[in-house]
Amino acid sequence: MIHYDLPQLISGFVDRKLLFDLDGQTEGILPCQIFSLAAYAQEALTFQILLEDGSLFSYVPLHLLYHKPPEAINLLELEDLVYHNCPDSTLCIHRFERLSRDVVNCFFKRKQAWLVGDYIFTMDWYCGNDLLHFIQLHNGQFALLPNHKVKFLNGDPHFQPFKKLHAIWKV
């Protein structure tokens, strides 16, 4: 499977230049509904959107989607917003209610910056023990970040020197 329904419909905006094959002279945003994602192996997650006039677009990258009109300054790029490409196309999507109760502090390594956001849902590539959280950033953008780049419970914006767990338990 490559296409997955989102656990909730997300009202948002798409950058108009995407709808005109990235024509740099096209400006502005259009309202849309984000309803599905696509997981192509070794590519960034992309999304399917529906415009108000009924037009449908697929293969929409995250850096051209917004949940509110963005401020043009300090927008993050795709390589900042999406932590890694899809390891494969087999994933599951789940919304953890506990994680949605508080704001999330998100660290973006390339920019050495912390931004605040809200948890929406989690994608888990269970065959490779890899996951990304879909975060709605307060700057208007969305991000896909792993556990070690987010602090829930409005936690302090710094990390302790924890190590990734590599142990495997079997009986």
Q: What is the pLDDT of residues 113-146, one digit of tens each?
A: 999 999 999 999 988 889 999 999 999 999 999 9
> For position 72, what pLDDT does the model report?
67
Residue 165 in any domain: the answer is no
Residue 157 in any domain: the answer is no
> For position 155, what pLDDT does the model report?
76
Q: What is the pLDDT of residues 38-89, one digit of tens each?
A: 999 999 999 999 999 999 999 999 999 999 998 766 799 999 999 999 999 9
Q: Please give the full DSSP string across 12-53, using - where no structure is assigned.
A: EEEEHHHHTTT-TT---EEEEEEEEEE--TTS--EEEEEETT
109 close to 77: Cβ distance less than 8 angstroms: no
Q: Domain count of the chain?
A: 1
Q: How many CB atoms lie within 10 A of CB 77?
A: 12
Write down the residue that tokens 């996951």 correspond to. 131
Q: How far apart are CA 53 and CA 32, in angstroms?
A: 9
Write down the residue that tokens 């973006």 correspond to. 108
Residue 163 in any domain: the answer is no
Residue 171 in any domain: the answer is no
- Its domain, for residue 86, covers 3-151
- pLDDT tops 80 at residue 21: yes
> For position 67, what pLDDT does the model report?
95
> For position 41, what pLDDT does the model report?
95
Residue 12 in any domain: the answer is yes
> For position 71, what pLDDT does the model report?
74
Residue 160 in any domain: the answer is no
